[in-house]
Amino acid sequence: MKVAVIRYNAGNIRSVAFALERLQVDFEITDHPETIQSADKVIFPGVGEASSTMNYLRNTKLDEVIKSLKQPTLGICLGMQLLCSHSEENNTNCLGIFEDVVKRFPAGNIKIPHMGWNNLQKVSGWLDSALEDQYVYFVHSYYVPVNPHTVAQASYGSPFSAAMRKGNFFAVQFHPEKSASAGIKILRCFFQQPD
Amino acid sequence: MLTKRIIPCLDIKAGRTVKGIHFENLRDAGDPVQLGEYYASQGADELVFLDISATQEERKTFAVLVNEIARHLNIPFTVGGGISELKDVGPLLEAGADKISINSAAVKDPAFIDKLTKEFGSQFIVVAIDARKINNQWTVFTHGGTRATEKKLFSWAKECQSRGAGEILFTSMDHDGTKKGFATDPLVKLNQLLSIPVIASGGAGRMEDFLEVFTIGKADAALAASIFHFGEVGIHELKQYLQEHQIPIRT
């Protein structure tokens, strides 16, 4: 199995790479369209701001590459949000794989960003049921509401999508690469998907 | 439910942990990578590595070390100590740090916070504030608590937030090292004032202190060093204790 990790202007690619090293996965960090398209699996990581990242993806035509992917592709954190149709973060049109709109956590009783360990609920689909109630690490100020593609929820003020799937597109709002043993389990669930 | 975080802090000099750390099951407790892995296995929610190196040469060792830590650690970690310019930060991010902590440099030039958050995002920037109560005012100190400044804790914390800081790490110098509990009063006020997470530091001595810092002080996370390093409080047993007392905690 060959994994492509999409290289673009968002930080945190290093920690994803280290997690894949620990899992002994054969991977390449790349922005080369053919390498991405020919990989068995693709990871679209990210920490950063939506509009500048989308601009970067459009300018480099990586947006079209991502939309064209047919193999299992995992969006992480900002990567998950950019797979949605629109983000309230600087009013940004995103890739539109998921129809959903990314919203900002409402100010009020909760601290923003949502930062730290929160438990997964209503785990289903591609995630191992043993992950129910396991804690994973989140850092984000925007969220995707629960929708028909949601396969795990977490709750911060109200429930939101912690993980989703639509066809070959998989997505997690948290950082599996920073989520101790639960995170490793989640990455394994993804890598076990048929190519 | 979002849990409260327990964060051990490691002082690093020339790539080695400095405090006399003794664990029977660690071959080399001076090795920050091994110690980091040990704390992670005990259930630490995050780690902070503070570079207290005096020379440039030692600082270079630190960036190499950050890379080694990131390679082996599967929980988030923050690095800090001596970060004073934008160019100090890129190599740490590139090496795999999840967050950086700044202190004196932010007080000296508050716009540094804006620059960093614009370049790297709020989630990457922790502002550490050391303060001590003088004439009933919480006064901010820099340079490892050696220099008093004109700044006051609450207004400065608020300013850090408005400039984009993702978290505040507040150390009460009055409590630090006393092992008599955290400074819950200013923590309550910080919590009311801020909409970003607050990490409490200084004063941890017993498990009850952690319970208080979360119930009374309303802190989002608690940081400690020596009580973990000397095995006075074990992270695993601390988390069990907090859970038994209805604190949301990852076990």
pLDDT category at B38 given cuts 50, 70, 90 is very high
Count of other CB atoms within 10 angstroms of residue B94: 15
List residues in chain A touching B: CB distance below 8 A.
11-12, 14-15, 18-19, 21-22, 47-49, 107, 111-119, 135, 137-141, 155-156, 175, 177-181, 183-184
With the C-alpha atoms ordered A38, A15, A46, A194, is the resulting torsion angle positive or negative? positive
Instruction: Indicate the CATH number for domain A2-191.
Output: 3.40.50.880
Q: Structural domain boundaries of chain A? A: 2-191
pLDDT at B22: 59
Pairwise pLDDT comparison (B17 vs A33), residue with the higher score:
A33
pLDDT score, position A46: 81
Residue B114 annotated in active site: no
Fold of B5-244: TIM Barrel (3.20.20)
Probe site for chain B from A15, A90, A156 (most B CB atoms < 10 A):
A15
Q: What is the pLDDT of residues B146-193, one digit of tens each?
A: 899 999 999 999 999 999 999 999 999 999 989 999 999 999 999 999
Nearest by CB: A118 against B1, B94, B197:
B1
Q: Using one digit for the tens of pLDDT, what is the confidence trace for B218-250?
A: 999 999 998 998 889 999 999 999 999 999 999
The strand pair at A114-119 and A135-140 is best described as antiparallel
**CA–CA gap between residue B211 and residue B247 (Å, rounded):** 8
Return the active site residues of A. 77, 175, 177
**Cβ–Cβ < 8 Å for B112, B81:** no
Considering only alpha carbons, which residue of chain A is nearest residue B250? A135
Query: Do residues A123 and A172 lie in contact, with contact meaning Cβ atoms separated by under 8 Å?
Result: no
**ipTM of the prediction:** 0.92
